[in-house]
Structure formats: structure tokens, C-alpha cells
A = this chain, B = another copy of it.
Amino acid sequence: MKTIIVTGGYLPLDFLKEQIKKRQVELIICADSGADALYNAGILPDVLLGDFDSVDEEVFNSFVQQGIKTVRFSAEKDLTDTHIAIKYAIKQGSKKIIILGATGLRIDHTLANIYMLEKFIRHAHLKIVDTKNSIELVSDGSSRIYHKKDYKYISLIPISRKVYGVTTEGLKYKLQDATLLRNSSFGISNEILSEQGAITIKKGLLAIVQSND
């Protein structure tokens, strides 16, 4: 099952509408403060989820009146709304999860959301998507194909201190069984040459960021 999770970060309405239309997902989960953006975009989620402390009352009531399922969690200090939403999505059988609103001006939230993907890496294919970037994590023994389509750049950024055995196909700057270091910016701004490229890694945790200027 393909799922979109809408959380409370930076999320322009046009972008949100375009993503919901384009992705054709079977499940839309709204994580707490993501409700305002959905409401303003006139989009109904399938599930509204969180402790509902930060949701606008009018928005919440409107969704409830329209029959949207609500799942209330008590505010657990060490689990974010996004975390709870991902767990819920996986429990429902989601194998592809696109997270919108997970980035923004607060660098701590952005970092924490990217790192959180690691926790679920064996359970689903998760992607954080915003107006400029598509971010995912890949780990030991992964081989993935990436499509050029909407993005100019593809960057390989180690999250673990080292990533071993990185091999690329169809990228401008070729890598063959290379070791990438977290504190070097070696893998930034590579490009897919034609329609698609492939990235294989043997060991480590790597962020793949597709982006536009």
C-alpha cells in the first residue's frame, strides 16, 4: 500500500495539492499539526492522528464532522507525531510512504525527521519530499534505481561515518566500489545522465537526496 503522511513543517498549498494528485496513494494520514495545511488545501485525510494539542479546533471539528477517522495518542515526549504516523502507516500495511511537511526552517526538526527514517528502513520504502528535495536513506546491501524526471541533482551523503562499496551506474561522476566519508562533501551534486541511474552500497547508511536549485 502507498501512503502519504502530512506533517506540520513547511508545506505550500500548491505543492501539497500537486503531490496528493500526482502520487495517487491509497492512504492519507494527517499527523497532528499537518491538519491545517490539508484543510486549507481542501483535502480530506483518511486518518487524523496525534495528541491534537496543536490542531486548530475548527479544523479538527470540521474533519470529525466529515467522518474522518481520528486516532488519539497521548503526548509522549520522546515520540514525535511524525514517528507515530509512520508506525501507524506500517501497521496498516504501507510499503511506500511519502512524508510531506517534514522539512522547514527548523534545522533540528529536519535533521530528526531524516534520521527517523533509519528506524523504519527494513519495514517500508520511506521518502521525505519537499518543494526542492526528495530524500531517502539506503543501507547495507541496497541497490536502487533513481529517475531523473523532476530533479537536476542527486547527492550521496553518508549518515554513518563511512559508507563502503558505493557503485553508481548512469551518473555523471562515476563511483566504483568507493568508500564515502561523512565529513567530506565528495558525493554532492552528482547528476543522472539519461532517464535513470542506479546506486548500490555494500555497507553503511547513506542519504540519497534528489534536488533542484
A148 to B79, CA, bound (A): 25
Chain B nearest CB from A160 CB (Å) reads 7
* A118-B207 in contact (CB<8A): no
A72 within 8 Å of B (CB atoms): no
* A111, A118, A209, A213: most-surrounded residue (chain B CB, <10 A): A111
Tell me, yes or no, whether A40 is within 8 Å of chain B by CB: no
Interface size on A, residues (CB 8 A): 44
Chain B nearest CB from A100 CB (Å) reads 14
- Cross-chain pairs A/B with CB under 8 angstroms, 16 sampled: A78-B186, A79-B185, A80-B188, A83-B185, A106-B211, A107-B114, A107-B130, A107-B209, A108-B211, A110-B110, A111-B114, A112-B157, A112-B188, A115-B158, A115-B185, A160-B161
Given contacts A78-B185, A108-B155, A160-B161, 18 further A-B contacts (CB under 8 A): A77-B173, A78-B184, A80-B185, A80-B188, A106-B132, A107-B114, A108-B133, A108-B157, A108-B188, A108-B209, A108-B211, A111-B114, A111-B207, A112-B157, A113-B185, A115-B158, A115-B183, A119-B183
